[in-house]
Amino acid sequence: MGKLHPNHRLVKIHRSYTVEEVAKLLGKHKNTVRNWTKNGLATIDDKCPMLIQGQELVEFLNKRRTKNKHPCKPGQIYCVKCRVPKRPAEDMAEYTPVTAKFGNLKAICPDCKSVINQRINSAKLHQIKEKIDITISEEQ
């Protein structure tokens, strides 16, 4: 159907939408929109057709998009398996430059032992070196 995160910029905030209009606008199934109303998307009233205010829809979509975000602090890398930012095991990581400005930071998650990766700006590498021990490998 549509993307994982619907584009909230398509919604006009001063307009009311029916469930079917929201589904068509965002490329979702109408049952998905009905589930959103059961999970917190406010409607104007309980009468048929169910109307959704554009401003409420935008706020709901933004809240859904940001609720699972976990920004990483310097020295942390996001572990996809654990779904939280973690300090690398033994505070060690390996940096591999990709271009002059960017490179990949690779480490091991201390809890699940999986490989964790992060794309990083080489200018910010000194901030991370204060927190963890980084081995710089040569470009391949």
Domain borders along the chain are 8-66, 77-136
pLDDT at residue 1, rounded to an integer: 43
Give the range among 17-31, 81-95, 122-136 with minimum mean pLDDT: 122-136
Q: Which CATH class is domain 8-66?
A: mainly alpha
DSSP class of 132: S
Angle among Cα 46, 52, 54 to the nearest 5 degrees reads: 160
What's the pTM? 0.61
The model's confidence at residue 74, banded by pLDDT at 50, 70 and 90, is: confident
68, 69, 70, 109: which is closest to 91 by C-alpha?
109
Over range 53-71, report the average pLDDT.
90
